A and B are shown apart, each in its own frame.
Chain A
Amino acid sequence: MNRLLYVQGVPFWRNVVVLRWAVQIVSAVLVIAVIAGFFGNVSREIAARDIPFGYGFLDREAQIPIGESIIGYHPSDSFAYGLLVAALNTVKASVLGVILATLLGIVVGVSRLSPNWLLNRIALVYIEVFRNIPLLVQLLFWFLIVLSLPTVREGYVAFDAFYLSNSGVNLPWPVPQDGFWPWALITVIGIVVAVVVARRLNSRETETGKPSYPILTGLAIAIGVGVIALLILGPMTIDVPSPEGRFGRLQGGAELSGSFTALLVGLVMYTSSFIAEIVRAGIQSVSKGQTEAARSVGMSGILTLRHVTFPQSLRVIIPPTISQYLNLTKNSSLAAAIGYPDLVSVASTMTQTAPAISLILVVMLTYLAMSLTYSLIGNLYNRAIRFKGT
């Protein structure tokens, strides 16, 4: 008995190993109890209130309207397909938003540190305005701006091909023809060759000090190959939008709908103001000695930023920027307020004829998957650029 309670002369209540395990066990028990309690409660309430639940509906015809789709949609398509259409709409807003917000955020963040007083102040005002107004208010504001444009029948037209109205922006857009895939293949080969050549030239420049213009040469090769193949194969025709019918709605080309435009502008403005602050913090985190050293070897301000401070600041910038990407993706769910058929908006329409709880779970998992994908990409990139031990 004594042996069980006293390990190597130490009573078990003072044994570090036992204590450590005890803490682990207690926290595990608590976590599991909370989760079990939660699920128990949900399943009990579902049963008690006869709330429908299940996934049999996914194969049924959705029979709901969805206004925009990248991959085409008809009400006779299934619920599962409808959810896919809606998820892709969210992905579209998220990916475009992330790209534009990053570019704008970097520009504003760098401007915020500019010695140019005016630029600096403009960046400051931009950040403080867009960072401090609730996103939903901003979205409704941009949507009202879009609505105040003339209607599609009285909208602005340039060259009979570019249209701007409160229904959105319509542009000519290429449509792939027979020769598209050969052309794509040739272009990809051209790009690969261009990258290889650019690398060669770059290392020659580093070794010999002779200016070899790697980027210019690479671009010339890639674009040259692509354009020549384009002219020979004719893989695409340009589809020009034109007004159709009594209502003058535009058919053909590519459309950024009014709701999507308002959503994109709102998300980009809002998120870029946060990214700008992250970029500023990142650049300022680089030791001042680095800048001074760069300047003392004769690099200009821009060159210092490009080659010395910005690359080093990336390690500070990337992790919080990834969480801004996640925020942007999740914030895109406010789209329902301004009429863009994103995942949440379409799922809420579906709750009329399909179980709401099942749909909410699908929506949650989809956002989780998107967020984890962004995190994964971000972490991989972060790992690639971190300081390598020497």
Chain B
Amino acid sequence: MRWKLGLILMMAAIFVVAVAACGEDAEEMVEEEPMVSRLATVQERGHVICASRNDVPGYGSLDANGRNVGFDIDLCRAVAAAVLGDAEAIEIVLITAAERGPTIQSGDVDLLVRTVTWTTSRDAGWGNYIHTTFYDGQGFMVSKDLGVSSAYELAGASVCVTSGTTTELNMADFFRQNNLEYNPIVFEDTDVVLDAYQEGQCDVFTNDRSQLAALRSALPNPGDHVILPETISEEPLGPVVPHGDEQWFDLVKTVIAGIIYAEAYGVNSGNVAAMAAGDNVKVKRLLGTEGSFGQETLGLRETFMQDVINSVGNYGEIYNRNLGPEGIDLPREGGRNALWANAPCTDCPKGGQIYAPPLR
């Protein structure tokens, strides 16, 4: 009899706790948590946290002094300079390709800049894509002595790829569409993919063309490898911010637009002070000495672009330093990654696709 009483008591207790726990959930779901903006969080923290990489020259790697350098890293620095006035106030979190989605979904980083291709399902599921900062496409690299001249001759090959990438999925689509038999080998780390390719475990290495070029330049005999002419996909690369904070989303968009217009207006890290004192209205608006293009709404200083350009440079400088002549030497002029036009000259287009919303 007594143990039955105990049993009933215990059941009652479990029920009460379960109801309490659920009730608590329901309450918290309804009640809006007091929203602390990401901008305020970053300013209080004193640095910007960016998820990136250090294994591909040009995009994200370490220089001789162990400093993070690269195109993606510089975009992170530009945001830090805009928000905090200090381009060095960054923390780089190293992640693998497959970790990119979960990392940005968790909201633990402020910015994801790790050669991330903009796709619709990622935009829906991962975070908000800012802007395309580099137009890429997927290609194949093979050893020259195999005598392959086209991707359509790759039947029977063993192909290495990094996991969790659009390249992995595009590769599957390409071989399936063209009815080519192949053997995919999928690795977690780009380093290991490169090892397997160099040792000939796989005949083909597939990745974005610019990354292939960058990685080829780091091989012992770059001339022994050829990148096949076919481009099998669109790979627009750009930074991503977490869902849920529109001010931060717009802020990063504005910083990227700022560095693109800085190049278009001819403002670079060497002439910021002179240009700010000059008489071009658009330039003065960009540099915050006259008018405004939304700095106040975004929570930024009027002159934030001066800090950005002084420390990181304009889009062209960032490109040249990392991907251009001073970096891995990808051609730019005449290609898709040239500016659309050198403003304010609107009828002298340069034909590229790098373009940003007007700063007004």
Minimum CB–CB distance for A12 against chain B, Å? 11
Q: Does A100 contact B (CB under 8 A)?
A: no
| Closest B residue, CB atoms, query A257 | B185
A43 contacts which chain B residues (CB < 8 A)?
A: 25
B187 contacts which chain A residues (CB < 8 A)?
A: 336-339
A352 and B164 in contact, given A147-B196, A338-B187 (Cβ under 8 angstroms): yes
Q: List 14 A-B contacts (CB under 8 A).
A: A21-B3, A21-B9, A25-B9, A43-B25, A48-B33, A49-B107, A76-B176, A153-B200, A258-B201, A336-B163, A345-B163, A349-B186, A351-B98, A352-B169
Q: Does A385 contact B (CB under 8 A)?
A: no
Minimum CB–CB distance for B34 against chain A, Å? 13
Instruction: Establish whether residues B163 and A353, one from each chain, have CB atoms under 8 Å apart when the complex forms.
Output: no
Instruction: Establish whether residues A64 and B17, one from each chain, have CB atoms under 8 Å apart when the complex forms.
Output: no
Instruction: Establish whether residues B185 and A36, one from each chain, have CB atoms under 8 Å apart when the complex forms.
Output: no
B25 contacts which chain A residues (CB < 8 A)?
A: 40, 43-44
A147 and B195 in contact, given A40-B21, A249-B183, A345-B188 (Cβ under 8 angstroms): yes
Instruction: Establish whether residues B21 and A36, one from each chain, have CB atoms under 8 Å apart when the complex forms.
Output: yes
B160 contacts which chain A residues (CB < 8 A)?
A: 339
B124 contacts which chain A residues (CB < 8 A)?
A: 52
Instruction: Establish whether residues B201 and A29, one from each chain, have CB atoms under 8 Å apart when the complex forms.
Output: no
Instruction: Establish whether residues A17 and B6, one from each chain, have CB atoms under 8 Å apart when the complex forms.
Output: yes
A166 and B172 in contact, given A43-B25, A351-B164 (Cβ under 8 angstroms): no
Instruction: Establish whether residues A353 and B201, one from each chain, have CB atoms under 8 Å apart when the complex forms.
Output: no
Q: Does B64 contact A (CB under 8 A)?
A: no
1/0 per residue, CB under 8 A from B, across A15-57: the answer is 0011001001100110011001100100110011111100000
A356 and B199 in contact, given A247-B146, A337-B189, A345-B188 (Cβ under 8 angstroms): no
Instruction: Establish whether residues A50 and B243, one from each chain, have CB atoms under 8 Å apart when the complex forms.
Output: yes
**How many pairs of residues, A versus B, come closer than 8 Å at their CB atoms?**
169
| Closest A residue, CB atoms, query B3 | A17
B169 contacts which chain A residues (CB < 8 A)?
A: 63-64, 352-353
Instruction: Establish whether residues A356 and B101, one from each chain, have CB atoms under 8 Å apart when the complex forms.
Output: yes
Contact of A25 among B10, B158, B175, B184 (CB under 8 A): B10
1/0 per residue, CB under 8 A from A, across B239-257: the answer is 0001110000000000000
Instruction: Establish whether residues B98 and A24, one from each chain, have CB atoms under 8 Å apart when the complex forms.
Output: no
Instruction: Establish whether residues A249 and B186, one from each chain, have CB atoms under 8 Å apart when the complex forms.
Output: no
Q: Does A151 contact B (CB under 8 A)?
A: yes
Q: Does B219 contact A (CB under 8 A)?
A: no
Contact residue range for chain A? 35 or more
A153 contacts which chain B residues (CB < 8 A)?
A: 200
Q: Which of A254-298 contact B (CB under 8 A)?
A: 257-259
Contact residue range for chain B? 35 or more
Instruction: Establish whether residues B185 and A144, one from each chain, have CB atoms under 8 Å apart when the complex forms.
Output: no
Instruction: Establish whether residues A47 and B157, one from each chain, have CB atoms under 8 Å apart when the complex forms.
Output: no
A28 and B10 in contact, given A50-B243, A351-B98 (Cβ under 8 angstroms): yes
Instruction: Establish whether residues B200 and A75, one from each chain, have CB atoms under 8 Å apart when the complex forms.
Output: no
The docked-state distance in angstroms from the alpha carbon of A349 to that of B184 is 13
A349 contacts which chain B residues (CB < 8 A)?
A: 98, 163-164, 168, 186
Q: Does B156 contact A (CB under 8 A)?
A: yes
A51 contacts which chain B residues (CB < 8 A)?
A: 105, 125
A64 and B201 in contact, given A44-B25, A49-B105 (Cβ under 8 angstroms): no
The 5 closest A-B pairs by CB, nearest first: A36-B21, A151-B200, A65-B184, A21-B6, A245-B156
Q: Does B274 contact A (CB under 8 A)?
A: no
Minimum CB–CB distance for A126 against chain B, Å? 27
A44 contacts which chain B residues (CB < 8 A)?
A: 25, 28-29
The docked-state distance in angstroms from the alpha carbon of A34 to that of B311 is 49
Q: Which of B154-174 contact A (CB under 8 A)?
A: 155-158, 160-161, 163-166, 168-169, 171-173
